Structure 1
Amino acid sequence: MSGHYPYGGGPADVPPPQDKGSTALRAALILAAVAGVVTVVAGLLIVFRSPDEYGLENKRDALELSSQQKPGQPEQAMFQAAPDVPPPLPEITAAPAMLPSTPKRIVIKKLGINAPISQVGLARDGTIQVPPSENPNLVGWYRSMSAPGQAGPAVLLGHKDTRTRPAVFNRLPEIRNGDTIEVKRQDGTTAVFTVGGVEQASKKTFPTERVYGPQDNAQLHLITCGGTYDRRTGHYTDNVIVYATMTSSYRS
């Protein structure tokens, strides 16, 4: 027979004539398989009726407290404002700004974060570089802005997750107004920042002025991904941004 059959879609797909001599054997095998399935199902019913005896007790209560919603604790509303509105400030007096010094580590005790900081600049497409994904615990400091503790906004970026595991800023949306963030600096001082607001903003309407605009006090802005993961583009739809103001400092 002539003709073209792509992907094997030709005469070879027609099943061969049935071998009558093997009919009895095939029937016996089918009956044996059915009997095996019945036995397995019966065994599973016995196990599920007495899960404690077989190590299958409900494990949902074993989740860490951080994974559970605490009863009676209302969820904090995200900060929302037009892109040109100034960043939210905590209800506490800002501390005097310090001289610039390179940041070395960031510590957020509430979230279990104690991570090194490296310097990042601009990528070829004009966006800020992010730390390499193979080092998910690394935070990037945008060196073209203020250093943490210096007057103006200091911008730190970190990954939410990688293809295989959570990353350094995975729990960033859990931070609340009034929580503190510490940044350890090269000069031996630690700048302490108090959170004034948390925002989730679409990447299409990123609040550029609020994040990068000039400020009189020492500000700290943390940025990570948020929203929905778009498998088509390979990116999240939003950014989570934490706004904090330096309220104290001490020598390490």
Structure 2
Amino acid sequence: MTTPPPGQYPPGQPVPPYGAPVHPQPVYGQPVFHAAPVVYPQAYQEPEPPPQPQGGGASAMRGVLILAAVAGVITVIIGVFFILGSPDEYAPPARQTLKIKGAEGLVPSVGPGGTGQPLTQAVATAPPPAPTLPPAAAMQPSSPRRLIVPRLGINAPIKSVGTDKSGAIETPPISNHNLVGWYRGGPTAGEPGPAVMLGHKDTTTRSAVFTRLHEIQYGDTIEVVRMDGTVAVFTVGGVEQANKQTFPTDRVYGSRENAELRLITCGGSYNRNTGHYVDNVIVYATMTSTRLASD
């Protein structure tokens, strides 16, 4: 449902490469749970130019042409590999979320969300939006098992994800469209702080678990079934659509006293030149109650 290379996802989950050549941005912003800064390498690099021949002659020129041909084949293979590995970023969007205002028109706070209102990005200093309901007391750590969002018809299993060897946040496997990834480098849902969950917007063949995430709105409930048999019930405080190049890192990943939840996916328009959606849709929610799981 990825310091970073030019362009951000947080400043703006780890974005796989798209196209050839592409210089992707992290998909879900840079987590701040690591002691050392996370590095987001380029997902795709131009192959280095072949060495220049030391002397003239037909044989030297032939060698250059052969090396160039081999480099071209390798580039094509790498491009195909990355496309198959991250089809949600390459595929044309099944639907587009509403565009945000330009950077010069950022609003002072995160909006309530919902289909009747345009999604906007707030200024960097705006706090995470919170519902009027009082927060519930935080619980002990317990890994999340399922995510349930009644308004959107989501009932999805959760898989923990970490960071790859390059330091970028992993995304949930694209082979399962109904799968949510929980970033295990941060709190579990119900602990103090923001639990971060990621989901794909779509795949090459169909919509995915968070395709309707932009429709959620203030006051909606989100349930996280935990391994200890409890259910953490979160209430949505607001929804933001943020440009990946100005991702609100602190608002998403920053330390919080209450148990909070962030749901993140891609959004906005699809840039065919870079192979990316240009924005992220971010849902902010606070835990307002708990109960025992029924199963």
Q: What TM-score does the superposition give when structure 2 sets the normalisation length? A: 0.59
* Cα pair 1:97 1:150 within 8 Å, conserved: yes
1:202 is aligned to 2:235: no
User: Percent sequence identity over matched residues?
Assistant: 62
Q: What TM-score does the superposition give when structure 1 sets the normalisation length? A: 0.69
* Cα pair 1:198 1:243 within 8 Å, conserved: yes
| Larger Rg over CA atoms | 1
Question: Once the 2 structures are TM-superposed, how far is the Cα of residue 78 of structure 1 from its aligned partner?
Answer: 2.9
Partner of 1:122: 163
- Which of 76, 81, 88 in structure 1 is aligned with 2:122? 81
**In structure 2, distance between residues paired with 1:239 and 1:129:** 16
Structure 1 unaligned residues grouped into runs of 5+: 1-72
- Which of 187, 199, 203 in structure 2 is aligned with 1:146? 187
Structure 2 unaligned residues grouped into runs of 5+: 1-113
**In structure 2, distance between residues paired with 1:211 and 1:149:** 16
* Cα pair 1:76 1:176 within 8 Å, conserved: no
Structure with the largest fraction of helix = 1
* Cα pair 2:122 2:240 within 8 Å, conserved: no
For 1:192, the aligned partner's letter is V
* Cα pair 1:78 1:197 within 8 Å, conserved: no
* Cα pair 1:79 1:197 within 8 Å, conserved: no
Residue 252 of structure 2 aligns to a residue whose secondary structure is helix
- CA deviations 1:155-209 (Å, max 9, x no partner) are 0000000011000000000001000000000000000000000000000111000
* Cα pair 1:131 1:139 within 8 Å, conserved: yes
Q: Which has the higher contact order (CA 8 A, sep 6+)?
A: 2
Kindly report the root-mean-square deviation, in angstroms, between the aligned alpha carbons of the 2 structures.
1.4
Partner of 2:133: 92
Question: Once the 2 structures are TM-superposed, how far is the Cα of residue 77 of structure 1 from its aligned partner?
Answer: 4.4
- CA deviations 1:28-54 (Å, max 9, x no partner) are xxxxxxxxxxxxxxxxxxxxxxxxxxx
Partner of 1:250: 291
Aligned CA distance change for structure 1 residues 151 and 235 (closer, same or farther; 3 Å):
same
- Which of 224, 235, 260 in structure 2 is aligned with 1:183? 224
**In structure 2, distance between residues paired with 1:109 and 1:199:** 20
- Which of 265, 268, 273 in structure 2 is aligned with 1:224? 265
Residue 119 of structure 1 aligns to a residue whose secondary structure is strand
- CA deviations 1:70-102 (Å, max 9, x no partner) are xxx981343532223220111110100000100
Partner of 2:212: 171
